[in-house]
Amino acid sequence: MPPVAIQLYSLLFKLILRRRLSSLSASAASSSSFGVSSRAAADHHHPSPPSNPSFSSATGADAVATKDLHPDPLSSLHLRLFLPNPHHSATPAAAANAPPPLRRNSFPQPAHDAGSPAAAVGQELSRRASASFSGVSPSAAPCYGGYLPTARSGRRLPVIVQFHGGAFATGAADSAANDAFCRRVARLCDAIVVAVGYRLAPESRYPAAFEDGFTVLKWIAKQANLAACGRTMARGAGSGGADSFGAALVEPWLAAHADPSRCVLLGVSCGANIADYVARKAVEAGKLLDPIKVVAQVLMYPFFMGTNPTQSELKLANSYFYDKSTCLLAWKLFLPEGEFSLDHPAANPLVPGKGPPLKLMPPTLTVVAELDWMKDRAIAYSEELRKVNVDAPVLEYKDAVHEFATLDVLLKTPLAQACAEDIAIWVKKYISLRGHELSY
């Protein structure tokens, strides 16, 4: 059972969430069809922290730079990129201040060569220069300027596409809690995290949020293709100073650092539903998404439901933070009017004819909480994946509640930290260039 303070906060949280959802339901008829990707900062428990595209001390001990993007000016789609500092452990002083290693210490980080181009070049990098791959900031610079991955340094980073929780109607990619969680994931996994600010209900109902998730995957693939064209054009131009093809359209952080062939989807609560949909669409798209390859997905306490109640849905219906009645209200706000059903493909992962055969799905890690009423359906989905030989382990955490590793008041608990480390250990099986090192 959670501590008394958490139980009391849970009651307050459910009261505020139900009131917020009821208010959104009342105003749904007059809302704009344009949609929103986040609520005002006043709707969050804490204001959204601003992005900080630097590795200065202002970013905290995790040394992760962030940047906000709006890839499509005609939509409300919002992204926040998280890039771990490539030089954070390059010097003894930095290593002394580095966070402790993963508990199993199975994944040592590659060392940087002090004589590499990343450490030698002292030229400041503009956005266009970064897209053209022609300049690098000095490693000792206080602010991030980009670094150039080479075969010698091997610093192409995998990409983790993250979808926040919030019952489809609240939350944001740049909220305080999601920002802190993504920083932790970026640091532990040594990967670029792309947090997706998808459209929210009821302004944008199903399938808006799901389509936004797949749109981001296609956008990352486009970025990779533009970057590849730019490098080819730059080599063809020699040293004549010609700008790379499409340089103005290329996001420099992704162009310089991302390895799209190692892409992981990570969804939190309702974001897990989006991640699973995007994984299915990626399977259906196949080579059309090249060079994107979804190598794994992580579903953290997914927001799954169904008509036939499971044992946990009967026993824990009034559980902590997100009880069943509140979640039903959220689904009524999210699903199109007249199409409400707990066996809707967005809600039930095992509904017949939902998508590609389960045997084609990527390896799937499912995280569940002992006191979460939705856990049984998530476990059942994982069991079905294992039946068709998909690597689909389940991590169940004792005395844990829904969103125990991502909710603002629980982020600093030992259980939340342990969960992030466990996720990193499993994910590194599929993003490591050294092969599978261990398995649950």
CA distances from 426 to 171, 181, 189, 419 (A): 26, 17, 10, 11
Q: Pseudo-torsion of CA 350, 303, 290, 239, nearest 10°? A: -170
202 cis-preceded (ω within 30 degrees of 0): yes
* 153 in active site: no
Identify the active-site residue in 134, 269, 319, 382. Answer: 269
Main-chain phi, psi angles of 203, to 5 degrees: -60, -40
Identify the active-site residue in 78, 88, 257, 402. Answer: 402
DSSP string, 192-250: EEEEEE---TTTS-TTHHHHHHHHHHHHHHHHHHHHHHHHHHHHHHTTS-PPPTTGGGS
Name the amino acid, one letter, at 233: M
8 A C-beta contact, residue 137 and residue 124:
yes
Strand residue runs (E) in 57-163:
64-69, 78-84, 157-163
* 432 in active site: no
Identify the active-site residue in 372, 376, 382, 422. Answer: 372
Residues 6+ apart with CB under 8 A from 392: 363, 364, 365, 366, 382, 383, 385, 386
Nearest to 347 by CA among 269, 422, 236: 269
- Which of 70-80 are b and which e, b meaning 16 or more Cβ less than 10 Å from the residue's Cβ? eeeeebbbbbb
Positive or negative CA dihedral for 342, 408, 379, 356?
positive
* 269 in active site: yes
Question: Both tokens of residue 386?
Answer: 């294992």
Catalytic residue positions, numbered: 269, 372, 402
